[in-house]
Structure 1
Amino acid sequence: MNRNAKTIRLFAAAALVAALATPALAAGPLQVASKVLTEKKTAAADGTTRVALVQATKVVPGDKVVFVLDYRNTGTQPLGNVVLDNPVPQQLVYRSAAQGSPTPEVSVDGHTYGELSALRVRTAAGGVRPASPDDVTHVRWRLTSPITAGSHGQLAFQAVLK
């Protein structure tokens, strides 16, 4: 598969995730928006390399991407027991929570969640092996504190384009 096809699939998957998640939540007080960022490296005058996260416009295999979920309580009451779940597009390999974001629970099947070290995957031979980041299909955050009226936050995870 050529690089352009992978780039297109990444954004099609990201658009699908946003399209599925946002309208379902748009009617209530919890508003959620997602975006896909990538690292942009630039040379600084002092000879160092600066890295900034920018809106992803072109991503090729091996590039790091960051999926960001912005959430906001637009209601007048606190929202408790909030769980935000984000599928990992098949074209990506999960790596970790993004810097500054709490560590999410992960899943290798979309049903069972936990720490990666506790998850297992069936092998083609019928055995079982420990799950690896390559097996992650979903990330999920359980917010431990209610989201107060008018407040907002951000959650993010890093991945690499296959």
Structure 2
Amino acid sequence: MTKLLLIIAILILSFNGSFAVAVSPRGGAWEIDGGGRGEMGVTPRSDWGKTRLLSQENGVEIRLEAHKLVTVEEEDGRETTEWLKLPAQATVEPGDRIRYTIAGENNRDREIVNFTLTQPIPPPMEYILDSATSSDAAQITYSIDNGETFVANPTVEVEREDGRREVRPAPASSYTHIRWQFENPVPAIATVSGQFQVTVK
């Protein structure tokens, strides 16, 4: 079984084309690596559904939710599925399906333009193809090279039995990051979010 401890490893936030921050856990506390304008503060909280990953003096907050797909037996004996919110520490098994929601909250008194969220696929997880969505209009792109480049439809070059090489869609196991680039400014006192699903390997 795999222990799930604050599954998110790194989250990158950017807006106005000039800001990027990486947040990572170190020894049970949160540390900030990276740079940009404004001062950063990180406040981990025990409630997973309300986990506050990044709080900035310029009024932007990032929150994370994680749910696991579970089977529930109804009173009449029928089985249905529902999403169960995960606590701060949860135990999962290979094959479990997890849904992540990352929300960016603009607490400022003015809009934010060029708002972007970039999320690594947390190990030991595998992205479920076509599961990424957004609350608002956004360009969703993916990386298969640890965040170096992003495209809408990642591809890989493979060698066929006859020795010729061809380009094919990249397998889910090669996805390393997801990026949401929101097309419209985020209004003051508003929230946008991205969502995706993974399976535990």
Q: Within 5 A, what are the aligned runs for 1:9-158?
A: 10-12=4-6, 14-17=7-10, 20=23, 23=42, 25-27=54-56, 28-56=58-86, 57-95=90-128, 96-98=130-132, 104-109=140-145, 110-116=147-153, 118-120=154-156, 130=168, 131-158=170-197
- The code of the aligned residue for 2:79 comes to T
CA contact (8 A) 1:94 1:133 kept: yes
Aligned positions, number: 152
SS state at 2:66 partner: strand
Cα RMSD (Å) of the superposition? Answer: 2.9
What is the TM-score when the length of structure 1 is the normalising length? 0.78
CA contact (8 A) 1:64 1:160 kept: yes
Q: Which moved more, 1:90-99 or 1:18-27?
A: 18-27
SS state at 1:17 partner: coil
Relative to total residues, which structure has the larger strand share, 1 or 2?
2
Q: Which moved more, 1:100-109 or 1:142-151?
A: 100-109
CA distance in 2, matches of 1:81, 1:119: 26
- The code of the aligned residue for 2:188 comes to A
SS state at 2:5 partner: helix
- The code of the aligned residue for 1:149 comes to A
Q: Which runs of 5+ in 1 are unaligned?
A: none
SS state at 1:113 partner: coil
The answer for the alignment partner of 2:16 in structure 1 is none
- Of all paired residues, the percent bearing the same amino acid is 21
Larger radius of gyration: 2
RCO higher in structure (CA 8 A, sep ≥6): 1
- The code of the aligned residue for 2:110 comes to Q
Distance 1:99 1:80, change over 3 A: closer
- The code of the aligned residue for 1:78 comes to E
CA distance in 2, matches of 1:119, 1:67: 24
- The code of the aligned residue for 1:97 comes to S
Deviation at 1:90, TM superposition (A): 2.8
- The code of the aligned residue for 1:31 comes to E
- The superposition leaves residues 10-52 of structure 1 with CA deviations (integer Å, 9 ceiling, x where unpaired) of 425x153368178384113221111221112101124432222
Distance 1:82 1:26, change over 3 A: same
Q: Which runs of 5+ in 2 are unaligned?
A: 12-21, 25-40, 43-52, 160-164
Relative to total residues, which structure has the larger helix share, 1 or 2?
1
Deviation at 1:133, TM superposition (A): 1.0
CA contact (8 A) 1:97 1:103 kept: no
